[in-house]
C-alpha cells in the first residue's frame, strides 16, 4: 500500500567528474541497467507517495532514463548553484502541497542499497521521532566519503566532507552513506540556512545535520548492517567493485533457485536474465539483457549471449549470440556467431565456425561446419554441407535464400540469393547455385574434372613435387 507519508528524492544532477566519462555517471551500467535505474527501482519498491529525481548534467539523457524506469515520475532541474543541498532544496518545491511526512534522500550513485535496508532505516527514524537520520557505515578505507563526527559521549554531531576535514577527522572510519531521512518541516527550515562556504563552494546537504543539531533538534546516525550495501560509485574502480558485488548476489540467487553455475567468478548475469532450474552455466559465460535459459540447457564455456532464448536441453558452447532463439535440444558451437534474427528449431544444429543472421533454420536441420547463413529460411531435417555460403548481398541490396525440407547440399556450396532450393533437393559439392533448384533435383554446375598427366614434371621440373611424383611413378620424363 502506498505510504502517503513518504517522499523520496533521488540525487542525479552531478557530473561525476571522477569517472572521467562523457556518459553521465549515474547512467553507467551495472548488470545491464543504468546505475540510476537500480536506485529508482529501490525507491519504487518502497511505494512512496512520490519520487522526485533531480537532474542537471546531461539532463535529457538522465531524464530519459528516469522516464523508462519510473514513467511519469517527477523530474526537477537543478540550477547553477552546485551541491547536494541545493539539489534537495529544489526538489522540495516539487513535493505535494503541504506535505509534512518524511523525506528520504538517496544518492543516485549508491546503487546496491535494497528496500529492506531502507524500510528498516525509515522505521527506526519514525520510531525515534528524530528530525533527521543518516545511514552510516564503517569502511576500512573511508577515503572520499563524508565522515560522521560524534561528540564525546558518542552522539552524532555533524558530517564533515573529506575535503573540509582536518587530519583527526580524516582518521574517522564511520562514513556518511548518502542516505537520509528528514521530517519535511525540519528539512525545509534548515535548507534555507545552507551556504557555499566550504572547500568545494557547494551547498552541502550534509550541513543540515550540524544545523539541526545547533537548533536543538535530535539527529541519528544509523550504521548499516553490511557496509557494501552503501558503497558509492565515484570512479571506474568503484564501478567495477560494485558490479562484481552485484553480480555475486545475482549468481548466488540463481544458484539457490536451482541453476548450476560452475564458476561464479567468471560468470556475469544481468538483472533481467531469466534462468530455469537445472540449467547449467559453464565458466566464462556472460548472459546479458533479457536472455532466457530454459531447464536442462547447458550454456558455455566462454559464451556471451545478449537477449537470447535458449530452449530446454539445448547446448550452446563457445558462442557469441545476440537476439537469437535456440530451440529445445538444439546444439550450437563451438565457435558460432549468432547474429540478430537467428532462429534454430528444436534439435537443430549450428556448428563450428558458423555465422548466422536473419536465418530461420527448421526443426532438426543442421549447418554443422564453416558456413555463413544470412537472410535465409531452411525447412525441417535439412543438412547444409560444410563450407556453405549464402551470398545474400549484391553490393547494394540484401536478398533471401530459401532452402526447403529434407534438402542435402554439398560441401562448399554458394547460394547466390535470391534463390530457392526445393524440398528433398540435392546440390553437388562446390556448386554455385544461381538458379532455383526444383524439389527432388540434383544441382551441379562444376565443370567435369580433367587430369593433365605429367603436368608437374613439365611445368615444375626439379621441384620436390616433381621428385615425389617421379618416385610415385607418375610417368616418364617429358621431352
Which cell numbers in the block locate residue 118? 531502507
What is the per-residue binding string for ligand UD1 in 381-420, x denoting contact by CB under 6 A?
----------------------------------------
Quick check: is 399 catalytic?
A: no
What is the per-residue binding string for ligand UD1 in 29-58, x denoting contact by CB under 6 A?
-------------------------x----
**Burial code of 402-428, b = ≥16 C-beta within 10 A, e = fewer?**
bbbbbbebbbbbbbbbebbbbebbbbb
How many CA atoms lie within 13 Å of 360's alpha carbon, on the beta-carbon side?
8
Task: Give yes or no for residue 84 binding ligand UD1 (CB under 6 A).
Answer: yes
Pick the catalytic residue: 369, 399, 406, 412? 369
User: If phi over 0 gives left and psi between -120 and 50 gives alpha, with beta otherwise, what is residue 50?
Assistant: beta
| Residue 321, contacted partner among ligand UD1, Ca ion, none, CB below 5-8 A by kind | none
Task: Give yes or no for residue 14 binding ligand UD1 (CB under 6 A).
Answer: yes
Task: Give yes or no for residue 109 binding Ca ion (CB under 5 A).
Answer: yes
Site for ligand UD1 (CB under 6 A): how many residues?
Answer: 29
Please pick, from the candidates 83, 108, 183, 232, the single residue that binds Ca ion as defined by CB under 5 A.
232
Q: Which of 401, 398, 323 is nearest to 367 (CA)?
A: 401
25 phi/psi in degrees, rounded to 5: -50, -45
Q: Which of 43, 23, 45 is nearest to 34 (CA)?
A: 23
| Residue 165, contacted partner among ligand UD1, Ca ion, none, CB below 5-8 A by kind | none
Task: Give yes or no for residue 11 binding ligand UD1 (CB under 6 A).
Answer: yes
Beta bridge partners of 331: 315, 349
Distance CA 322, CA 362 (A): 19
- Containing 276, the helix (H) or strand (E) segment is none
Shortest Cβ 75–ligand UD1 spacing (Å): 12
Task: Give yes or no for residue 82 binding Ca ion (CB under 5 A).
Answer: no
Q: Are 9 and 91 in contact (CB under 8 A)?
A: yes
Residues 143-162 that bind ligand UD1 (CB under 6 A): 145-146, 159, 161
- Containing 23, the helix (H) or strand (E) segment is none
Residues 222-241 that bind ligand UD1 (CB under 6 A): 232, 234
Q: Which residues bind to ligand UD1, rule: CB under 6 A?
A: 11-14, 26, 54, 78, 82-84, 86-87, 107-110, 145-146, 159, 161, 175-178, 204-206, 232, 234
Active centre residues (catalytic): 369
Amino acid at each position: 500500500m502506498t505510504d502517503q507519508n513518504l517522499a523520496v528524492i533521488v540525487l542525479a544532477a552531478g557530473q561525476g567528474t571522477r569517472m572521467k566519462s562523457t556518459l553521465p555517471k549515474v547512467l553507467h551500467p551495472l548488470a545491464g541497467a543504468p546505475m540510476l535505474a537500480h536506485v529508482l527501482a529501490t525507491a519504487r519498491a518502497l511505494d512512496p507517495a512520490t519520487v522526485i529525481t533531480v537532474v542537471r548534467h546531461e539532463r535529457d539523457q538522465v531524464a530519459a532514463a528516469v522516464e523508462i524506469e519510473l514513467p511519469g515520475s517527477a523530474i526537477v532541474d537543478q540550477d547553477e548553484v552546485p551541491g547536494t543541498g541545493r539539489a534537495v532544496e529544489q526538489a522540495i518545491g516539487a513535493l505535494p502541497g503541504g506535505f509534512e511526512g518524511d523525506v528520504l534522500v538517496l544518492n543516485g550513485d549508491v546503487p546496491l542499497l535494497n528496500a529492506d535496508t531502507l524500510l528498516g532505516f525509515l522505521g527506526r527514524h519514525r520510531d525515534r521521532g528524530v528530525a533527521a537520520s543518516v545511514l552510516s557505515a564503517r569502511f576500512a578505507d573511508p577515503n572520499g566519503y563524508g565522515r560522521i563526527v560524534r561528540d564525546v559521549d558518542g552522539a552524532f554531531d555533524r558530517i564533515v566532507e573529506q575535503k573540509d576535514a582536518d587530519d583527526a577527522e580524516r582518521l574517522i572510519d564511520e562514513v556518511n552513506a548518502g542516505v537520509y531521512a528528514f521530517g519535511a518541516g525540519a528539512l525545509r527550515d534548515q535548507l534555507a540556512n545552507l551556504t557555499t562556504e566550504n572547500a568545494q563552494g557547494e551547498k552541502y546537504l550534509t550541513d543540515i545535520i550540524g544545523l539541526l543539531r545547533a537548533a536543538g533538534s535530535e539527529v541519528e546516525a544509523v550504521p548499516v548492517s553490511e557496509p557494501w550495501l552503501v558503497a558509492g560509485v565515484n570512479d571506474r574502480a568503484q564501478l567495477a567493485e560494485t558490479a562484481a558485488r552485484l553480480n555475486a548476489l545475482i549468481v548466488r540467487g540463481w544458484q539457490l533457485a536451482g541453476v548450476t553455475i560452475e564458476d561464479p567468478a567468471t560468470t556475469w548475469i544481468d538483472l533481467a536474465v531469466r534462468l530455469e532450474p537445472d540449467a547449467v552455466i559453464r565458466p566464462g559465460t556472460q548472459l546479458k539483457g533479457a536472455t532466457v535459459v530454459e531447464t536442462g540447457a547447458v550454456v558455455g564455456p566462454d559464451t556471451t549471449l545478449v537477449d537470447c532464448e535458449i530452449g530446454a536441453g539445448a547446448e550452446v558452447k563457445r558462442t557469441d549470440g545476440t537476439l537469437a532463439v535456440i530451440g529445445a535440444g538444439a546444439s550450437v558451437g563451438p565457435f558460432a556467431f549468432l547474429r540478430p534474427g537467428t532462429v534454430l528449431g528444436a534439435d537443430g544444429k549450428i556448428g563450428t565456425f558458423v555465422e548466422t543472421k536473419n536465418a530461420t533454420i527448421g526443426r532438426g536441420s543442421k549447418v554443422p561446419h564453416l558456413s555463413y547463413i544470412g537472410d535465409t529460411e531452411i525447412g525441417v531435417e535439412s543438412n547444409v554441407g560444410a563450407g556453405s555460403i549464402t551470398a545474400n548481398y549484391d553490393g547494394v541490396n540484401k536478398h533471401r535464400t530459401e532452402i526447403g525440407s529434407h534438402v542435402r547440399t554439398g560441401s562448399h556450396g554458394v547460394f547466390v540469393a535470391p534463390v530457392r532450393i526445393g524440398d528433398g533437393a540435392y546440390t553437388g559439392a562446390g556448386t554455385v547455385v544461381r538458379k532455383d533448384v526444383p524439389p527432388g533435383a540434383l544441382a551441379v554446375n562444376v565443370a567435369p574434372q580433367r587430369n593433365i598427366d605429367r603436368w608437374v614434371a613439365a611445368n615444375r621440373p626439379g621441384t620436390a613435387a616433381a621428385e615425389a611424383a617421379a618416385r610415385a611413378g607418375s610417368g616418364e620424363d617429358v621431352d
